[in-house]
């Protein structure tokens, strides 16, 4: 096993970490619901619940789907999000909407810093339209662990590159994230990303055709989650 990768860890949480702790607790509350209740919110318009093994991010694998369940929350302005009933999960929607707004604010500030690091004007990304109706998503993830004794190799999230521009990953301290620097080389070499409870790790993504300078400086990394 190679040494853990020295990957950027960005602390964007509030000083008391309350908002992150509340987010994790509320996320756990949802995933603890009976499957029948969760399936009432099955994904529509890329919002809502995705069941265990329903996705396989690395389609070249012959194994079953990834060992995770998830819940998507998109932009708050388009009225496409799905929400659990308030009587089932009190304050759940409020918690997620508040956190969504905080993350969008944090990323807006982060883009200014990224622009300065590239020796561009601080408002460069704003000027090229990056902040016009941004498609900001929260994706809650639950990795239940290996639920059977099969010898089949199981991933929480198999190898993939994210879409979009910036991904912030909040962690509860459980390790699992790995990245591959050279995706074209075989066999791929995976490096562990250190995990610290309550912090966000930063992934720079490059899928936007308009920003060639950005793509050249910060290519997207292939990554996976090795949670069983």
Which domains does the chain carry? 9-225 (2.60.120.330)
Q: Is the pTM of this model over 0.75?
A: yes
Per-residue confidence (pLDDT) for residue 122, from 0 to 100: 93
Where is pLDDT greater, at 187 or 1? Answer: 187
First to last CA, the chain: 17
Tens of pLDDT, residue by residue over 154-189, are 777 777 777 777 888 777 777 777 777 777 788 878
The pLDDT value recorded for residue 206 is: 36
Predicted local distance difference test score (pLDDT) of residue 7? 45
Per DSSP, helices labelled H in 85-196 are: 92-117, 124-127
Confidence tier at 30 by pLDDT (50, 70, 90): very high
Digit-coded pLDDT (tens) for 38-85: 999 999 999 999 998 888 877 777 777 888 899 999 999 989 999 999
Reported residue count of the chain is 228
Amino acid 49: pLDDT: 97
Return the exposure string of 35-56: e unless at least 16 CB atoms fall within 10 Å of the residue's CB, then b: eeebeebebeeebbbbebeebb
Please say if the pLDDT value at position 221 is more than 60: no
């Amino acid at each position: 096993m190679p040494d853990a990768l020295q990957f950027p860890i960005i602390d964007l949480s509030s000083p008391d970490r309350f908002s992150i702790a509340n987010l994790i607790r509320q996320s756990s509350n949802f995933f603890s619901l009976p499957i029948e209740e969760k399936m009432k919110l099955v994904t529509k318009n890329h919002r809502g619940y995705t069941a265990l093994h329903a996705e396989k991010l690395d389609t070249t694998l012959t194994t079953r789907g990834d060992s995770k369940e998830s819940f998507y929350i998109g932009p708050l302005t388009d009225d496409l999000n799905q929400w659990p009933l308030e009587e089932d999960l009190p304050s759940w929607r409020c918690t997620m909407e508040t956190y969504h707004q905080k993350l969008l604010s944090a990323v807006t500030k982060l883009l200014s810093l990224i622009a300065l690091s590239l020796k561009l004007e601080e408002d460069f990304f704003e000027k090229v339209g990056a902040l016009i109706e941004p498609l900001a998503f929260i994706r809650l993830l639950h990795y239940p662990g290996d639920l059977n004794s099969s010898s089949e190799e199981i991933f929480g999230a198999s190898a993939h590159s994210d879409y979009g521009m910036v991904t912030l990953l909040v962690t509860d301290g459980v390790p699992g994230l790995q990245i591959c620097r050279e995706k074209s080389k075989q066999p791929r070499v995976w490096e562990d990303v250190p995990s610290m409870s309550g912090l966000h790790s930063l992934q720079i993504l490059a899928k936007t055709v308009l920003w060639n300078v950005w793509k050249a400086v910060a290519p997207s990394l292939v990554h996976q989650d090795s949670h069983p």
